[in-house]
Amino acid sequence: MTLRPDIDCEEAVRQLAAYLDQELDSSVTETMQRHLDTCQSCYSRAEFERRLKARIRQELAVDSVPLDFRERMRLLMRSLP
């Protein structure tokens, strides 16, 4: 198996969002991981973005459906012909 050539910081930053979203193919993901393992600056950036993303999810994903709307939908579906 041949490894993809290493990438520089500019390319790593460009790919970072897709990397954190797990949208890169496996070979680019491995290249990103190698870069992050050796570059403190990009690693710190990746960690910050990952934590911010997790924070958004943690804070906003729960309780996103008001109870009264849930009840409205239950009633609606019971009434469907």
Partner 1 sequence: MPQEDRSDTTTWFQDEVMRLLPDLLAGARGMASSSADAEDLVAESVARAWEKLGDLEDRDRFRGWLFCIMKNQFLGRVRRRNARPTEVPLSEEEAHEPGFSLFDQVHQPFLLWWGNTEQDFLNNLLKEDLQQAIEGLPDPYRTVVTLADVRGFRYAEIAEALEIPVGTVRSRLARGRSRLQEELWTHAVDAGLRQRDPPEGGTIE
- Interaction site with partner 1 (CB under 8 A): 17-18, 21, 23, 41, 44-45, 47-49, 51-53, 55-57, 59-61, 64-65, 69-70, 72-74, 76-77, 80
Q: How far is the CB of 10 from partner 1 (least distance, A)?
A: 13
Q: How far apart are CA 67 and CA 38, in angstroms?
A: 48
- Quote the least distance from Cβ 1 to partner 1, whole Å: 26
**Phi and psi, residue 24, nearest 5°:** -90, 155
Which residues have CB under 8 Å from 13's CB, separation 6+? 42, 45
By beta-carbon proximity to partner 1, the closer residue of 1 and 17 is 17
> Smaller CB distance to partner 1: residue 5 or 66?
66
Cβ–Cβ < 8 Å for 52, 44: no
